[in-house]
Amino acid sequence: MSAPGPRRASTLACSVLGAAVVALDGTVLTVAQPALQRDLHADVGQVQWTSTAYLVTVASLLVFAGRLGDRYGHRRVFAVGALGFAAASAGIALAPGIGAVIALRVLQGVCGALLQPATLGMLRTAFPPERLATPIAVRTAAIGLAAAAGPLVGGALVSSYGWRAVFLLGVPPTLAIGLLALAGPDPRTEAAERRPSAGIAALDPLGALLLAVALGLLVHGLVDAPRPGGTGTTVLVLAAAAAAGAALLRHERRAPHPLLPPELMRSVPVRAGLAVLLAASAALFGTLFVATYFLQDVQGLDPLDCALRFLPLAALMVLGAPLCPPLQRRFGPRRTAVAGATLLTLGVLLLSRLDATASAVSVGTGSGLLGAGFVTLMVTATSVVVHRAPEAHAGVAGGLQQTAMNIGPALGVATATLLLALVPDGGFVPDRGVALPALAAVAALALPAALALPGTTHHRVKQTGSRTGSRIGGQTGGHMGSRPGKQREGGGGTRPEPTAPRTRR
């Protein structure tokens, strides 16, 4: 059920601002960490936990947070997350010591997990599926702009007002969008009230716990893997993550209300879209990690000059996002994503050929290819994941999308760090190391996943019965087999579907 115009506008504003604030928070913190360490007399390990605690908390709770949105309404869950994020940010700005900062970062991670899947779940319920690509592109452009502006804004704030100003930056916008989300009705809440309730069992708390443990251990292991002397611990942590994952799969097959709905997990487009996002984000962030060390440690550039080298990446992400929806309509998600994966892989390969005397033009060209390829993949794959998910599971789909976007960077940076250690004398010079060629291979993994995406944008068959009835419970006439997100794939998407004979597929 799509929302009327004013509600769509407020939903888009909440989604875009919420996603942008989270992206801005992650980039400005990196700039603020040295000042935070000096002011609070902390050691490097403690400061590292200000990032790790947040990442682990967010990654472990995203899918469950999406399930809460499906059950109780995305706007409601978004409002709780946004207001909590504002409160935690203000608390960090007033924190007396590093222990309080880490604890509040955990709380901020909980609120961020509530907020992020809801930014996609709200779009899925407010916009018709065939018009989802445009708001998702706007959201992606805002994320790119925030991520690019983060180091500049953070540097200016830290230089003028200190590290605490970085956390105060996010308080006004998150407070505003939290109150805006509370002001409007939530169509998912109204639909949920008409469904029979199974109580707490409908949330699958054991499945949520197992998934949280598996993802939390996985992210923790990936973050800790590059640290000297941590190999044995990392192996144990990753083994525990695998064991928790196996227990989760066993539980989900038997649960009456599984956290990961079978109809969602069996969807080939959804699985392919998640694989694209995982490979693309791992390749991008791993490459940026290597290239940043190359520019600063080998070529001796300061952080601002280094950021300027990557300006084409940010510019093409912001400018390219609005072009992706028409490309999808013209060529279909499959060909659009294949083109994006090709550009991303070429960008990593070009940067892998840089020597110690590489020019700004060479770096800028490579970063531009990275930006063009990544934004194409992100908009296209996210559109497919959200579009092809049943509306009843939009929050879980958004949580899975955000999970891929959180695990991918951790995987890419861990891979890059381990490979850099294999060539200690030349690893930071791209053409003398193995890190970037390996990351190019990771980027290339997005190609087979892209080939599994749908060939056309529109896949819904037109209904001849009551549209409202088929969305709420699938109880009208012959539409029990025509739930949102479960329509037939293929080229006959515009043919009216008979009422009775097509109830089973």
Rounded Cα gap, residues 429 and 436, in angstroms: 10
Rounded Cα gap, residues 505 and 501, in angstroms? 10
Average pLDDT over residues 451-469: 58
Residue-wise pLDDT tens digits, 39-65? 999 887 788 788 888 888 888 899 999
* Residues 173-229 pLDDT 10s: 999 999 998 886 665 544 444 444 556 767 888 988 999 899 888 888 888 776 766
Closest CA to 318 of 149, 170, 443: 149
Most confident of 131-135, 144-148, 232-236: 131-135
Q: Summarize pLDDT for 247-264 with one digit per residue, the tens.
A: 999 999 888 888 888 888
Q: Name all contacts of 91-98 with Cβ < 8 Å and 24+ positions apart.
A: 92/164, 92/167, 93/164, 93/165, 93/167, 93/168, 93/171, 94/164, 97/40, 98/36, 98/40, 98/41, 98/42, 98/46, 98/47, 98/50
Which percentage of the chain shows pLDDT scores above 70? Answer: 84
The structure's pTM equals 0.79
Highest mean pLDDT among 134-148, 280-294, 333-347, 390-404: 333-347
Q: Around Cβ 86, how many Cβ atoms within 10 Å?
A: 23
Give the least confident one: 1-5, 260-264, 288-292: 1-5
- HEC profile of 453-473: CCCCCCCCCCCCCCHHHHHHC
> pLDDT band for position 475 (50/70/90)?
very low
**Percent of the chain, pLDDT > 90?**
40
Measured distance CA(414)–CA(438) in Å, rounded: 12
